[in-house]
């Protein structure tokens, strides 16, 4: 398959607030908007820290000319006992209300896992947990994106590790409100990635797309993601697959990085824009 055509403008660029974590939401919204960026994905901590509340946080983003793309994150449905699973369901019902209050159409799900529990059992609990909150999500008009995580997180963060597994769960749940979030950091290594992205698009379940890069020998399993072009992920090729599968949404830049959080965030944002224009 072909690489995607070059990116012409920033209208479909959407940083996650965690990417510029040192900035409070108001500063992030102002800076993204001033740079000509079209979207923003709001993390729960950023929304909750907004002094005037979550609804005001949403209004602030829209008033800055930004489209709110996603609310991050729900999930963590797997648990060792029924009380833990019910607590997760209750928390996700609350997250759905928060997303509606914010005005975000989509919640990204980091699905959860329990150290020592069989991954298949965790996937069953995840499927049941999503099913339990789905009616409320549909009622509030919120879509849920199942985001597979790299298998290095299969012990404790997510038992869903491939687009194929996410597709299977989304298809089994059979709702227009459940789909899949493709994050290149988590799935770039998968030799079935192209065909599973295609399958995801064919069934109308390709909900969102996250980009960054995988640095050679990362110093930290969580907080050493790279800018696009800085590592081994062929972002343009994967974007090409996603677009061939019919996706027309935002390219969400999600970078957790102790290195980048330590630098001047205006300078970092300028680097994001440059990497987005030339390496994505
Ligand atoms: Zn992601």
73-104 confidence digits (pLDDT tens)? 999 999 999 999 999 999 999 999 999 999 99
Instruction: Tell me what the pLDDT averaged over the chain comes to.
Output: 97
**Helices and strands, counts by H and E, the chain:** 11, 8
Kindly report the number of other CB atoms within 10 A of residue 139's CB atom: 11
What is the whole-number distance in angstroms between the Cα of residue 84 and the centre of ligand 1?
24
15 alpha carbon – ligand 1 mean position (Å) = 11
Q: Please state, in angstroms and rounded to a whole number, the distance separating the CA atoms of residues 225 and 16.
A: 13
- Beta-ladder partners of 72: 43, 108
Q: Check: CB of residue 80 under 8 Å from CB of residue 117.
A: yes
As to burial, measured by CB atoms within 10 angstroms (0-12 exposed, 13-18 middle, 19+ buried), residue 52 is exposed
Ligand 1 geometric centre to CA of 162 (Å): 13
Q: How far is the CA of 10 from the centre of ligand 1 (A)?
A: 19
The rounded Å distance from CA 148 to ligand 1 centre is 9
- The Å distance, Cα 204 to ligand 1 centre, comes to 19
pLDDT tens across 126-155, in order?
999 999 999 999 999 999 999 999 999 999
Nearest-10 crossing angle of helices 82-102, 54-63:
40
Ligand 1 center–CA 106 separation, angstroms: 13
Mean pLDDT of the region 160-170: 98
Q: Where are the alpha helices (DSSP H) in 74-181?
A: 82-102, 119-140, 163-173
Q: How far is the CA of 251 from the centre of ligand 1 (A)?
A: 11
55 touches 102 (CB < 8 A): yes
CA distances from 65 to 35, 106, 164 (A): 11, 19, 36
147 Cα: distance to centroid of ligand 1 (angstroms): 7
Distance separating alpha carbons of residues 162 and 186, to the nearest angstrom: 8
Coil, strand or helix at 234: coil
CA separation for the pair 199, 96 (Å, rounded)? 27
Query: Alpha carbon of 30 to those of 108, 161, 262, 265: distances in Å?
Result: 24, 35, 20, 13
Percent of the chain with pLDDT over 90: 97
Q: What is the pTM of this model?
A: 0.97
**Predicted local distance difference test score (pLDDT) of residue 2:** 58
Distance 31 CA to ligand 1 centre (A): 21
Q: Say how many Å lie between the CA of residue 1 and the centre of ligand 1.
A: 24
* Alpha carbon of 259 to ligand 1 centroid (Å): 19
Question: From the CA of 126, how far away is ligand 1's center (Å)?
Answer: 18
Which pLDDT tens digit goes with each residue over 38-51?
A: 999 999 999 999 99
Q: Do the bridges between strand 39-43 and strand 67-75 make them parallel or antiparallel, or are there none, so unpaired?
A: parallel
Q: Cα separation of 111 and 178, whole Å?
A: 13
Ligand 1 centre from 102 Cα, in Å? 19
Task: Please report, for residues 38, 74, 181, 233, the alpha-carbon distance to residue 55 in angstroms, rounded to integers and kept in the order given.
Answer: 20, 18, 25, 37
CA 88 to centroid of ligand 1, rounded, Å: 20
Distance 188 CA to ligand 1 centre (A): 12
pLDDT of residue 6: 86
Angle at 207 between CA 174 and CA 270, to 5 degrees: 165
How much is the average pLDDT of 43-68? Answer: 98
Count of residues in the chain: 280
* Ligand 1 centroid from CA 16, angstroms: 9
Burial class of residue 58, CB neighbours in 10 A (0-12, 13-18, 19+):
buried
Rounded to the nearest angstrom, the distance between the alpha carbon of 132 and the centre of ligand 1 is 23
Nearest to 213 by CA among 237, 248, 179: 237
- Does residue 4 carry a pLDDT above 90? no
Rounded to the nearest angstrom, the distance between the alpha carbon of 157 and the centre of ligand 1 is: 13
**How close is the Cα of 254 to the center of ligand 1, in Å?**
6
Domains and CATH numbers, the chain: 28-279 (3.20.20.150)
Residue listed under structure tokens 């072909």: 2
Contacts of 232 (CB under 8 A, 6+ apart): 188, 213, 214, 216
């Amino acid at each position: 398959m072909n690489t995607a055509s070059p990116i012409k403008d920033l209208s479909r660029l959407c940083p996650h607030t965690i990417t510029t974590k040192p900035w409070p939401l108001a500063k992030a919204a102002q800076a993204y908007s001033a740079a000509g960026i079209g979207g923003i994905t709001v993390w729960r901590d950023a929304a909750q820290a907004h002094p005037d509340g979550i609804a005001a946080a949403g209004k602030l983003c829209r008033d800055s000319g930004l489209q709110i793309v996603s609310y991050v994150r729900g999930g963590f449905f797997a648990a060792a006992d029924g009380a833990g699973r019910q607590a997760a369901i209750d928390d996700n019902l609350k997250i759905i209300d928060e997303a509606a209050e914010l005005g975000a159409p989509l919640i990204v799900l980091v699905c959860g896992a329990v150290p020592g529990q069989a991954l298949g059992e965790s996937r069953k609990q995840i499927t049941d947990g999503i099913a339990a909150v789905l009616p409320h999500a549909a009622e509030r008009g919120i879509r849920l994106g199942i985001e597979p995580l790299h298998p290095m997180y299969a012990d404790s963060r997510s038992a869903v590790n491939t687009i194929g597994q996410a597709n299977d769960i989304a298809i089994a749940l059979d709702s227009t409100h459940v789909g899949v979030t493709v994050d290149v950091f988590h799935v770039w290594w998968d030799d079935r990635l192209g065909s599973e992205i295609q399958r995801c698009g064919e069934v109308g379940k390709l909900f969102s797309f996250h980009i960054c890069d995988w640095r050679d020998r990362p110093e930290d399993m969580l907080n050493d993601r790279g800018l696009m072009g800085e590592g081994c992920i062929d972002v343009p090729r994967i974007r090409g697959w996603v677009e061939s599968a019919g996706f027309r949404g935002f390219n969400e830049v999600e970078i957790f990085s102790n290195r980048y959080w330590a630098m001047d965030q205006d300078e970092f944002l300028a680097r994001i824009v440059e990497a987005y224009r030339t390496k994505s």
